[in-house]
Amino acid sequence: MLGTGLTGSSILRHMPVAQAGQSQADVFGQLYLVFLVLGTIVGTVVISYTVYNAYKYRTTVGDADGRYDVDEEELAETDDYDVARPRQGEIPTGQGKGGGKKLFMSFGISAFLVLGLIIYSYTMLLYVEDTGQGQGNAIEVDVEGYQFGWDYTYFEDEVSNDSQVLASSDYNATKLHPEADSDALVVPKGTTVRLDVTSRDVWHNYGIPEFRAKTDAIPGETTHTWFKAEKTGLYQANCYELCGQGHSNMNGDVLVVEKQRFIDWYTSQENTDASQIEFMEVSS
């Protein structure tokens, strides 16, 4: 058990931490890997120790005559009680043999590992829960759910003139990808996308499983999530809240394109302000 503790301590010191610019998928992948490694080590030690003791203290002699039965009252009167097996309800500390020290050391190591994992997980999740605010410049998109679809509006909170707002009803994403829905969410590769999500009718839940982005869509309220896509392609956003008969069909495409292609597409729209994406300028 001490070896397990030292191994766990070493792992905790060298566990990966969230770095600026990471995606949510990377963070959750790291968390999964850490728990998998530690769980495998602890499980291997515990199972091995159990099997070892079961083999070590095995007996091939039956006890039909009850010769291994112990009279607790008689045992309590003997001088060897302190080194005998504990009474029912007592902690088996192995008194007089150093077992108590090992037992409580194992408790301490276990508590250290659990506390370390809690702190580590909390710091990683804080990175996720900042809704992308710590990610620097980002594409801002308002997402509005309705029975049974999604509407997208770019940079609505950053402009005062509605003519400069780009909504999914204003463009045709099929021109960028023949298999994409015309009103697909179009985002650039390698750029943080912050989503402000709400609903116009009933409760929904907006999620893009490939990017580990998911949040409630509640009428009259706005929730937030973010993601960063590292590969171009066509992905799917789903509703994860039962919202009516068409719930199973409440899906939408998410199209990830290269930065320059996104810039060209965005600036070619009639209602957009090119200054909104100046931070994305791609060097030639």
Furthest C-alpha separation in the chain: 96
What pLDDT is recorded for position 272? 78
Question: Cis link prior to 148 (omega < 30° from 0)?
Answer: yes
What pLDDT is recorded for position 31? 83
What pLDDT is recorded for position 243? 94
What pLDDT is recorded for position 1? 45
| 3-class secondary-structure state, position 6 | helix
Flag the least confident range among 41-45, 87-91, 113-117, 125-129: 87-91
CB 12 within 8 A of CB 113: yes
Dig out the tokens for 183 from the structure: 């009103």
pLDDT digits (tens, 9 = 90+) for 203-247: 999 999 999 899 999 999 999 999 989 999 999 999 999 999 999
Residue of 68, 66, 67, 86 whose CA lies nearest to 76? 86
pLDDT digits (tens, 9 = 90+) for 235-246: 999 999 999 999
Higher pLDDT, 100 or 133: 100
Judge whether residue 153 has pLDDT over 90: yes
CB 279 within 8 A of CB 137: yes
What pLDDT is recorded for position 26? 76
Judge whether residue 114 has pLDDT over 60: yes
| Helices vs strands, H then E, count in the chain | 5, 10
What pLDDT is recorded for position 2? 45
pLDDT digits (tens, 9 = 90+) for 25-35: 777 788 888 88
What pLDDT is recorded for position 269? 87
Domains of the chain: 2-60+67-129 (no CATH), 135-274 (2.60.40.420)
Q: Average pLDDT of 107-129?
A: 80
Q: Average pLDDT of 7-14?
A: 52
Higher pLDDT, 101 or 88: 101
Reported pTM: 0.66
Confidence label for 113 from pLDDT (cuts 50, 70 and 90): confident
Radius of gyration of the chain (CA): 30
CB 176 within 8 A of CB 183: no
